[in-house]
Every structure is written in structure tokens, then in C-alpha cells.
Amino acid sequence: MAYVDNTETQKADREYIRNSMNAPILEKDKELALARAWRDNRDEKALHELVSAYTRLVVSIANKFRFYGLPIGDLIQEGNIGLMTAAEKFEPDRDLRFSTYANWWIKSCIQDYVLRNWSIVRTGTTAAHKSLFFNFRRLRAQIEGTNEHEGLSEADRAQIAEDLGVRIEDVEHMEGRLSGVDSSLNATIADEDNGAQWQDTLAEDAPNPEEVVTSMRDAQTRSKWLNDALHTLPSREQTIISQRHLSDDVVTLEQLGQDLGISKERVRQLEQRAMDTLKTAIYKAKDTEIKQRKNSAEHLSAA
């Protein structure tokens, strides 16, 4: 469904379009002279005359995209941005008509605007999707016009993919994307009488309060196991583990060796031995905790 502007906006758009169509058409030599005046001397008057002469081109291209349901005034303004970009980058010494060069920039800016605003869901995130978005309907209509069956077959999708140089998966993605419409999560479910909304049916991925408490308790338990196991180590090994694994600024083996008066290799050996000791101690603590919980559960069950 196309966007409908209010009366004042429509009037302003018509006035702008009428003025664009009344702007004088430039001869090739004239437009090249204006382009050089802007490029070499930053002559704003020349820029204004050059750009004003081709706002009719912006209007013409914008009208081709009016069926996407976006305000024609916005499409024209986006096209004007492309026109200004073209004027800034145009090289008159290449002997190319400005209208030919500007056409690409105008179309590109309008297409980007359509892709950003056609839906609240981002569309055309890749070059393949962009090509499909602006060509899929046309190709589908051509194919369906010659088909005896409704919809697209696998062969039809393969033909579209070949014509546009994209993957069949991209065609299937865009077919599904263009066949749907945006729906609000706050919309009321049609068959519900209690005013339930679609967002009420969404699954909650966040942990529930019980899981949060359990996770915090388990984290505290593991921290206690580690702390108890760490205190069973000799002081030198405690220092190595603290500096190497429990500090934000990890100390190198070489630096620790210098601080402790031993070789780097000896520090590595002590670190490995300490890690093995900690793992063994933590596993024992875990087994003890499991047995205690099991006994507690059996005791409560018996009671």
C-alpha cells in the first residue's frame, strides 16, 4: 500500500516537480563548463545551475520507485543527494555527459533509501539480495505469465538465479521475504478474547529466578573449592598460580623466575604440578559435595 502525504505536502511536491520540469536543459558544452567551474573554482552559482538542470532526472528516477509505498518527496530528496554526490565526483575531462554519470548515483541513493525504509526488518544486506529485491517481482511476473501453474517451481527459481547471477538459496530467501508483511508484536491475536498479544507467546530465553539462584550458589561453591585447594599448595606454588592464572596482569614465566630466584623452566614445572594438585583437590571436593547432597536427599525422603 502506497504512502499518502497530507494535502500541504502533496502541494509542495507538485510545485517542486513543476519547477524541475521547467528548468532549462543544458547543452553538453555548457554543462562541462559549469562542471569545470565548480571543480576548479568551487563556483557555487555554477554548481546550482548544473544541479538545477538535472532535478528533472531525479524526479523521473524517483517516480520509478513510488510503488514501494514510500513518500515521493523523500524519494526525490534522496535522489537529490545522489545528484549532489555526482556533481562533486564528476570529471568533465572524460568527455562524458553529466546526466549519464549522475543517473547511477541518483538511482543508487534512492535504492539504498528504499532498502532501509521499505520494512522495519533490514532487507538487501548483500549485493545478491539487493539485486533480487529490485528485480524479483518483474522476473516472477514474467515467468508466472507463461506458466500454467500458480507460483514458482524449482526450475523457475533456478532460472531467476541464473538470470541475476545469484544462488537459488538467495532467491528462496527473497521470495519468502517479499511474500510476507511486517506485523507488530503488540498486535492482538485474532482468536483470543482476553486481549492477548503476539509477544505473549514468545518463549523467554533468560534464566528463571530458581536458575539464577542455583547458578550463583554453584559459583560460590566452586570459588570455595578453589580457595581451599589453593591453600593446600606450598607458598611458592600459590604465588605462581596467583600471578599466572588469578591476576588481571599475567606475569611471564621468565619474570616469575627472576622474582623467585629460579629458572623459567622450573617455574613451568611448578606451575604444572600445582595445576594437577588443584584439579585433584577440586574433584575430591566435588565428589564430597555430591555425596552430601545425596545423603541429605535420602534422609529427607526417609523422613
- pLDDT score at 81: 96
Query: In the block, which residue shows the cell 492482538?
Result: 188
Q: What percent of the chain has pLDDT over 70?
A: 88
Q: Beta partners for 92?
A: none
C-alpha cell at 14: 507538485
- pLDDT score at 1: 47
Residues 9 and 271: their CA atoms lie apart, in Å, by 75
Question: 275 or 296, which is more confident?
Answer: 275
Alpha helix segments (H runs only) across the chain: 7-22, 28-41, 44-53, 55-63, 72-89, 98-117, 127-146, 154-164, 168-179, 209-230, 235-245, 253-260, 264-302
Question: C-alpha angle with apex 130: 128 to 136, nearest 5 degrees?
Answer: 90
Residues 56 and 19: their CA atoms lie apart, in Å, by 9
Reported as a pLDDT band with limits 50, 70 and 90, residue 67 is confident
Question: 149 or 165, which is more confident?
Answer: 165
Taking 80 as the threshold, does the pLDDT of residue 144 lie above it? no
- pLDDT score at 300: 72
- pLDDT score at 42: 93
Mean pLDDT (the chain, rounded): 84
Which of 245, 243, 276 lies closest to 260, judged by CA?
243
Residue 183 phi/psi, 5° resolution? -125, 140
Check if the beta carbon of residue 226 is closer than 8 Å to that of residue 278.
yes
C-alpha cell at 266: 622450573
In the Cβ-directed half-sphere of 99, how many Cα atoms lie within 13 Å? 17
Q: pLDDT tens across 11-44, in order?
A: 999 999 999 999 888 999 999 999 999 999 999 9
Give me the mean pLDDT over the 150-160 stretch: 82
The one-letter amino acid code at 237 reads E
- pLDDT score at 124: 57
C-alpha cell at 197: 498479544
Q: pLDDT tens across 247-258, in order?
A: 888 889 999 899
Question: 58 or 281, which is more confident?
Answer: 58
> b/e map of 31-69 (b: 16 or more CB within 10 Å)?
bbebbbbbbeeeeeebbebbbebbbbbbbbbbeebeebe
Q: What percent of the chain has pLDDT over 90?
A: 37
Taking 50 as the threshold, does the pLDDT of residue 280 lie above it? yes
Which of 138, 142, 140, 141 lies closest to 157, judged by CA?
140
- pLDDT score at 191: 66
Check if the beta carbon of residue 48 is closer than 8 Å to that of residue 37.
no
End-to-end CA distance of the chain: 70
**Which range (13-27, 138-152, 162-176, 212-226) has the least confidence?**
138-152
pTM as predicted:
0.54
Give SS3 for 199.
helix
Q: pLDDT tens across 168-215, in order?
A: 888 887 877 776 655 666 777 766 566 777 677 777 777 777 776 677
Q: Beta partners for 197?
A: 188
Quote the DSSP letter at residue 47.
Answer: H
Give SS3 for 152.
coil
Taking 50 as the threshold, does the pLDDT of residue 75 lie above it? yes
Residue 240's contacts (CB-CB under 8 Å, 6 or more residues apart) are 256, 260, 267, 270, 271, 274
Give me the mean pLDDT over the 252-276 stretch: 92
Give me the mean pLDDT over the 224-239 stretch: 89
Reported as a pLDDT band with limits 50, 70 and 90, residue 116 is confident
Residue 238's contacts (CB-CB under 8 Å, 6 or more residues apart) are 230, 231, 274
Residues 218 and 225: their CA atoms lie apart, in Å, by 11
Question: 80 or 303, which is more confident?
Answer: 80
